[in-house]
Amino acid sequence: MEDKLSIIGLGWTSNEDLIIIKENGYVEIRNMFGEFKSDFNLVKDSRPIDLRIFNTINTYNGVFTTGIAILTSKNRFVIIKDVYDPKQQQFPEIPSYFLISNNWKK
C-alpha cells in the first residue's frame, strides 16, 4: 500500500523483519531487504497517539514474539501480542481526567 501517510513507528521483530506503523494505525511488515511480507490495521475507530514495540518470550513454547501496544486518541490501549498473528486485545476507555497521553512516558 503506497500512500503519503506519516510513519509514527519503526522497529524490528524478533525474526529481524521491519515493522512500519503509520499515522492511521496501518502496520506493514517487511523483510530486511524491504520486500513486503504482511500488513494489518491496528486501530480502526481512532488514531494512534503513542506506541511501543516489544519483544517477549512465549512461556508455553519458549519462542520469542514481537508485539505492539498502542494508546489511541480515544484513550484506549490496544495490544497485539504477536505481529505475525495479529489478534487485537482492546482495553476499556481510560477516563480523560487521568490525561494518560501526557503521563505515558518514554
Strands 88-90 and 64-72: unpaired
| pLDDT value at 102 more than 70 | no
| pLDDT value at 28 more than 60 | yes
Give the mean model confidence (pLDDT) for residues 78-93: 88
pLDDT in tens, 1-21: 456 889 999 999 999 999 999
Give pLDDT, residue 43: 81
pLDDT in tens, 34-63: 999 999 998 877 888 889 999 998 788 888
The strand pairing partners of 95, in sequence order, are none
* Single pTM value for the model: 0.79
